[in-house]
Amino acid sequence: MCYKFCIWQRIAHIGRVFNKYKLLRMLPIDAEKRISFKRCISDGDLVIVYERHDNMKAVKVCEGSTLQNRFGVFKHSDWIGKPFGSKVLSNKGGFVYLLAPTPELWTLVLSHRTQILYIADISLVIMYLEIIPGCLVLESGTGSGSLTTSLARAVAPNGHVYTFDFHEQRAASAREDFEKIGLSSFVTVGVRDIQGEGFPDEFSGLADSVFLDLPQPWLAIPSAGKMLKEDGVLCSFSPCIEQVQRSSETLTSNFTDIRTFEVLLRTYEVREGKMDCSQGNEGGFLGPRPGKRRQRSGEASNEGEIPTSTTVMARPAAEARGHTGFLTFARLKCLSLRGGTSPLPPLHL
């Protein structure tokens, strides 16, 4: 009976997701709630000034202000009226690009008030929490707001993210950031100790997903279970495996499909380099083969110069981002498995 009910519940969940997608495609989106950037930059807008892939900063455009860096002096008045993505010149002829503050770029330039989640972890969180437009998501704690910006875009235009942090000043700073990047209509920031008090009762049974980034997430898991809808998903981020073990023990009472991931990202550098023509593409070596003595300058050679050619090579970056944390996901159990009554008829197979 329980097995049949769980299958029925999963089919019903897939149907709800399908209908939600179909509804979004049929209905016009409210222009005031759409996350989009105007084609042209205006006075007061926030832009991401791109110098190179590892050097960007967020700048508020103000008429009469200037930006000074190693490439020269840039007047904000020259930026106004230009579309996002424009290349602008300094008084010395140097240039930068003016980019829109997307969640991906904001994660790279925001002020680190706490440890943040990066793009690799964020991508996995949004996929495994099954977040789509229209979802209601609960988050604790807010921290620097890196994940929150991506959650807000994922639930737009008619969903909402309620995020909580016990630190009042940190919550206020996050609220200001969401206002700057135009996400305040999708995010509500609250001050609350979720570990000690749990989530507000007003969200009981309404949340599609819950995300926890807490020192002792096992204390908040019972409250998170009460907030979730049937078949809702929870994710807990923890830097230490001991936290994962204790959280998993707590999850077994009301959750199923418990799994933990560690995302390790390896970046490759793609650039031009010189390679001996005699080697072809064998092994992809740069320069002479390993084990052969290099020709000293001025030393006589009977073979003459070895011709070289320029080719595009790929190799791992010198610095790789290591461990950030563990992501533990779990799905709320069926009511029948928790001793409740079935709200849906059994599926006859």
CA nearest 194: which of 173, 170, 172, 214? 214
| 236 annotated to a ligand binding site | no
Residues forming beta bridges with residue 136, ordered by sequence position: 160
Q: How far apart are CA 220 and CA 215, in angstroms?
A: 10
Q: How far apart are CA 67 and CA 18, in angstroms?
A: 48
**What span, in angstroms and rounded, lies between the C-alpha atoms of 304 and 297?**
13
Which strand (E) or helix (H) includes residue 230? strand 228-238
- The answer to whether 213 is annotated as binding is yes
CA distance 3 to 237: 30
Q: Give yes or no for a contact between 182 and 207, defined as CB atoms under 8 angstroms apart.
A: no
CA angle 128, 211, 37 (to 5 degrees): 80
Distance of CA 263 to the CA centre of its chain: 12
Task: Please check whether residue 59 is in contact with residue 96, taking contact to mean a CB–CB distance below 8 angstroms.
Answer: no
Known binder of ligand: residue 339? no
Classify 114 in phi/psi space as left (phi over 0), alpha (psi -120 to 50) or beta: beta
Residue 201: Cβ-neighbour burial (10 angstroms; 0-12, 13-18, 19+): exposed
Torsion of CA 210, 212, 217, 219, to 10 degrees: -50
Q: Give one DSSP letter per residue of 163-213, joined into a string.
A: EEES-HHHHHHHHHHHHHTT-TTTEEEEE--HHHH-S-GGGTTTEEEEEE-
CB atoms within 10 A of CB 298: 5
Rounded to whole angstroms, the Cα distance separating 254 from 252 reads 6
Q: Any known ligand binding at 165?
A: yes
Q: Is 146 annotated as a binding residue?
A: yes
193 labeled part of a ligand binding site: yes
Question: Which residues are known binding-site members for S-adenosyl-L-methionine?
Answer: 144-147, 165, 193, 213
Question: Which residues are known binding-site members?
Answer: 144-147, 165, 193, 213
